[in-house]
Amino acid sequence: MDQWIKLANKALEGESIANNEALSILECPDEDILLLMHASFQIRKRYYGKKVKLNIIVNAKSGLCPENCGYCSQSSISNAPIDTYKMVDKETLLKGAKRANDLNVGTYCIVASGRGPSNKEIDHVVTAVKEIKATYGMKICACLGLLKPEQALRLKEAGVDRYNHNINTSEKNHSNITTSHTYDDRVNTVEMVENVGMSPCSGVIVGMKESKQDIVDMANSLKLLDADSIPVNFLHAIDGTPLEGVNELNPMYCLKVLALFRFVNPTKEIRISGGREVNLRSLQPFGLYAANAIFVGDYLTTSGQEDTEDHKMLVDLGFEVECVEEMKANIAAGK
């Protein structure tokens, strides 16, 4: 029995992965990558079979952000030539929900730039969410920034199922990425979301000059936070941002990162997120042997690949999209 299967069995038995074992995943020799992904799939298969969850984003408010996150084209320190606009109207949010439904996407993600939403913006999102729920019944994830407790409760009561707020990087590396808010600010929002009864979604961006130990720390931090869904983004460095030109990643390393998150968080939804196409490139299909969810369509300010290509990839893998009706049944059952 090879070392990766032994480690997978350890994860399946509910044992924590030791720090040296986690680092060994990131240091797996490239020639052993198929063995590592096979072991990752044993964990993924236990909890998710061969099903893949699809998510889609609507960029509800773009740019105009006062924060100084070094990776972000929407930040106050970015010179990237992006579209900037205030919160879109309700009809645009409903149109996005219809597209999600037409594409058999289970989770519709409403994302807005900024440090955090105003109460007026919360009112707007709440109104749209209620109508989307009444029309389509799909799972809704909101990502609006740092929340106040009363705002979190209003979103929950409106029908928002999940709230995303990424930790982005390790606590140690956080000040190298942004100084306009703290790591604890992010953690507090994730904990607040869980406290009001929404499902916490929190993930990372890999490729921002962090160490391998930083990545292990991220995976363990999300385990402690008990995030139900973990989006793993791979930096797509954008011209005009402080991280312009940073290109530390390659497809093999990205696969090892996905495997690490599956080993450390065996029961959680692991979603291959931003930067999938440009960093995993031709090895994208292998990522789904560790992850069980992807975004389809475009991201916030960068383009994804055609959703038809994503569906072809899943068919070629012999994987099955978790359909909208099944997702609705899971929501009704409280899953």
Q: Can you give the pLDDT at residue 323?
A: 66
At 68-85, the pLDDT tens digits run 898 988 888 888 878 889
At 158-175, the pLDDT tens digits run 999 999 999 999 999 999
pLDDT band at residue 15 under the 50/70/90 scheme = very high
- For residues 117, 301, 210, 166, the Cα torsion angle rounded to the nearest 10 degrees is 30
Q: Tokens for 303? A: 């383009």
Binding residues for [2Fe-2S] cluster: 109, 141, 201, 271
Q: In the predicted model, is pLDDT for residue 298 greater than 80? A: no
Residue type, 72: C
Binding residues for [4Fe-4S] cluster: 65, 69, 72
At 216-258, the pLDDT tens digits run 999 999 999 999 999 999 999 889 998 899 999 999 999 999 9
Q: In the predicted model, is pLDDT for residue 329 greater than 60? A: no
Q: Tokens for 310? A: 């994503």
At 84-134, the pLDDT tens digits run 899 999 999 999 999 999 888 989 999 999 999 999 999 999 999 999 999
Q: What is the CATH number of domain 32-332?
A: 3.20.20.70
Mean pLDDT, rounded, for 146-152: 97
Binding residues: 65, 69, 72, 109, 141, 201, 271
Largest Cα separation within the chain, whole Å, is 58
Q: Are 160 and 93 in contact (CB under 8 A)?
A: no
Return the domain boundaries, the chain: 32-332
Q: Quote the crossing angle between the two packed helices 212-225 and 19-26, to the nearest 10°.
A: 120
6 burial level (CB within 10 Å; 0-12, 13-18, 19+): exposed
Query: To the nearest whole number, what is the mean pLDDT of the chain?
Result: 92
Q: Can you give the pLDDT at residue 325?
A: 56
Q: Can you give the pLDDT at residue 297?
A: 65
